[in-house]
Amino acid sequence: MAIRAYAAAKRTLSFVDKLLDVNWGMVLLITMLACAGFAMLYSVAGGHFNPWATPQIIRFILGAFILVAVALIDVRVWMSLAYPAYGLALILLIAVVVAGHVGLGAQRWITLGPLELQPSELMKISLVLALARFLHGKSVEEVSKPLPLAIALAMIAIPAVLVVMEPNLGTTLIIVMDGCSLLFLAGLSWYWIAPALAAVAVAVPTAWRFVLHDYQKARVMTFLNPESDALGAGWNITQAKIAIGSGGVSGKGFLQGTQSRLNFLPEKQTDFIFTNFGEEFGFVGSVALLILFAVVIGYGLQIAMSARSQFGRLLAMGITLNFFFYIMINGLMVMGLIPVVGIPMPLLSYGGTAMLTVMFGFGLLMSVHVHRQVEIPRHSGGII
């Protein structure tokens, strides 16, 4: 009875109570990571705030306000908005395929007035929201039934197909991993998982022949043997390895990175920003940065485990895993451990839509934390 009374009280928290209940320690860690990104953008611009650091700082400040505002809204409101958010992101993805803006050989952006959006970034968060709501109402047994599983897989597959058409293989991988991770966490039976893994293994040769573009095949071949074309297809990963390796144990020092300053490093402000950090701060600095990322992920896992509702747990785990996949893929990519797939390092890489969606995702995570004692009936629609 005492627990139920406490939960009821938490549902009527005041604005000040909610504000004080925000995990400000996690917000501080996020800010520290973003500041590391500002410093790297300042460095790769040759010691200038423009053209990258200043816009990124402004976006982060806006994102911080978004984080806090989203955190103060009841998690049940976000549950009620999950399907509309997914639908909107899906419409924007279709708009990209029909009339998107082409940049760097891919059609990934859409212009809405003064805004240039990358809907695939919005879909990552929207998919987590929608799947968390859908799976919230399903028991462990129901998750593995054919009809609910087919619906969940369709929710994952439709945006994944639209994103791979852009083409954007890296984001497609994250969307699929986000969705499959939530199905696993919701209790999907191994009777489905094992055959699915086997099917993926069988499908790889088919995907290589009919799905992957020539440049994506070149990336895989370059990954296997970058020295075979070090001045062509292997240039990106070769220069990234040189940058990280030249940093040594303690690095060359802030503003002393040569690979980026002399423009050897490709996409130095976006996909390969971590290599510049490794060059200037070395192994010690890189490990320290990864520890900060790990602590943020640890906070996310703790928030997920403390939530009383299934929706809150799945949403928090989905947001945390999405952040982890970002870091894992980018880190492995720039170190030459997987092929280059064009995934930015969250909070460090330059990018408007990516920064704001990451901050929005953290806001949802914080909303779960602030409203962790809220109980949502398993078959509730979540609409207040």
Estimate the crossing angle of helix 352-370 against helix 24-44, to 10 degrees. Answer: 170
Q: Is 259 helix (H, G, I), strand (E, B) or coil?
A: helix
Backbone angles phi, psi at 265, to 5 degrees: -80, 125
Say whether pLDDT at 383 is over 50.
no
* pLDDT value of position 211: 67
Question: Tokens 């004080």 sit at which residue?
Answer: 20
The string of pLDDT tens digits covering residues 343-364 is: 899 999 998 888 999 999 999 9
Which parts of the chain are beta strand (E)? 101-103, 106-112, 115-117
The string of pLDDT tens digits covering residues 104-116 is: 555 677 776 666 7
Domain ranges of the chain: 2-370
Q: Among 94-103, 116-125, 210-219, 293-302, where is mean pLDDT lowest?
A: 210-219
Q: Is 103 helix (H, G, I), strand (E, B) or coil?
A: strand
The string of pLDDT tens digits covering residues 132-189 is: 999 998 888 888 899 999 999 999 999 999 998 877 888 999 999 999 999 999 888 8
- Mean pLDDT for 295-318 is 95
Backbone angles phi, psi at 27, to 5 degrees: -60, -40
